[in-house]
């Protein structure tokens, strides 16, 4: 089954961007996933082909018009793929949601611009708002590329070494242990001796302890039992 991504955007030329290279690019060439873009502006009907208008109630910036965006969404064949809207107000993306999305047929992703999107089209088309972090980007395109990067790399057969992936940060609930490779000594710093001992049980124990210590220090929030997810 091919994972299909359909991106609704005012900047289709930003895609596939970095996803056309490296592992994701090769996987796309092999047909393991596909990406198509829909230019939202193609659905604007007035003579200036305007896609945005001033905010009701006043204030700075412009808002993406609901009628134009709805037509663009409706042009995507009705299927079972989740419809996402990249949005700083959305639920923060997690590795768990990435894994769920990777099990499905694909995604339809709307990229916002300007001040955002008219609330009524979010409701009327059942868009799931997804945030990639607590900061503001100038548009949804880099957020969509980030989401797709995370999903595509876990699709079956995309990563060269299937084992790398399962030990990764967040997959285990912890941050990952530190990594080392040759040379044996670098600027006076040696590789921790346990890693070159050949004792696999000791290595595994050391890695676990490192992962736990690192998580306690940097991300104690990951060790706290999760609050109930917000349900819409």
> Binding residues for ligand SAH, per CB under 6 A?
86-89, 111-113, 115-117, 131-133, 135-137, 139-140, 143
Nearer to ligand SAH, 135 or 183 (CB): 135
Burial class from Cβ neighbours inside 10 Å (0-12, 13-18, 19+) for residue 31 reads exposed
Strand partners, 36: 6
| CA separation for the pair 77, 45 (Å, rounded) | 20
Measured in Å, how far apart are the chain's first and last C-alpha atoms? 30
Nearer to ligand SAH, 25 or 55 (CB): 55
CB 212 to ligand SAH: min, Å: 29
Nearer to ligand SAH, 127 or 211 (CB): 127
Distance CA 1, CA 34 (A): 11
Distance between CA atoms of residues 64 and 53, nearest Å: 7
- Residues pairing with 185 in the sheet: 190
**Closest approach of ligand SAH to the CB of residue 143, in Å:** 4
Closest CB to ligand SAH among 118 and 174?
118
User: What secondary structure does DSSP assign to 9-28, as a single string?
Assistant: ES-GGG-SGGGGSHHHHHHH
CB of 42 to ligand SAH, least distance (A): 19
**Please, what is the minimum distance in Å from the beta carbon of residue 88 to ligand SAH?**
4
Instruction: Report the 10 Å Cβ neighbour count for 89.
Output: 10
CA distance 54 to 73: 22
Residue closer to ligand SAH (CB basis): 118 or 195: 118
Compare residues 117 and 121 and give the one whose CB is closer to ligand SAH: 117
86 vs 121, beta carbon nearer ligand SAH = 86
Shortest Cβ 137–ligand SAH spacing (Å):
4
Considering the complex, what minimum distance in angstroms separates the CB of residue 179 from ligand SAH?
Answer: 29
**Could you tell me if 47 and 179 are in contact, meaning their C-beta atoms sit under 8 angstroms apart?**
no
Minimal distance, residue 90 CB to ligand SAH, in Å? 6
Measured CA to CA, the distance from residue 90 to residue 67 in angstroms comes to 22
Strand partners, 3: 33
């Amino acid at each position: 089954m091919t994972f299909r991504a359909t991106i609704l955007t005012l900047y289709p030329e930003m895609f596939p961007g970095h996803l056309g290279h490296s592992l994701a690019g090769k996987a796309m060439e092999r047909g393991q996933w596909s990406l198509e873009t829909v230019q939202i502006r193609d659905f604007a009907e007035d003579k200036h082909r305007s896609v945005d208008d001033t905010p009701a109630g006043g204030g700075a910036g412009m808002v993406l018009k609901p009628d134009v965006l709805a037509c663009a969404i409706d042009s995507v064949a009705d299927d079972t793929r989740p419809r996402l809207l990249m949005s700083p107000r959305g639920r923060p993306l997690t590795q768990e949601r990435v894994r769920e999305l990777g099990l499905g047929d694909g995604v339809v992703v709307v990229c916002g611009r300007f001040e955002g999107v008219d609330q009524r089209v979010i409701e009327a088309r059942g868009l799931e708002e997804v945030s990639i972090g607590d900061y503001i980007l100038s548009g949804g395109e880099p957020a969509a590329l980030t989401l797709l990067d995370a999903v595509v790399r876990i699709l079956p057969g995309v990563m060269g070494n299937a084992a790398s992936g399962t030990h990764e940060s967040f997959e285990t609930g912890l941050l990952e242990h530190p990594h080392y490779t040759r040379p044996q000594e670098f600027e006076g710093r040696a590789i921790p001796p346990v890693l070159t001992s050949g004792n696999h049980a000791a290595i595994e124990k050391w890695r676990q302890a490192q992962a736990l210590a690192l998580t306690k220090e940097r991300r104690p929030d990951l060790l706290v039992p999760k609050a109930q997810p917000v349900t819409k």
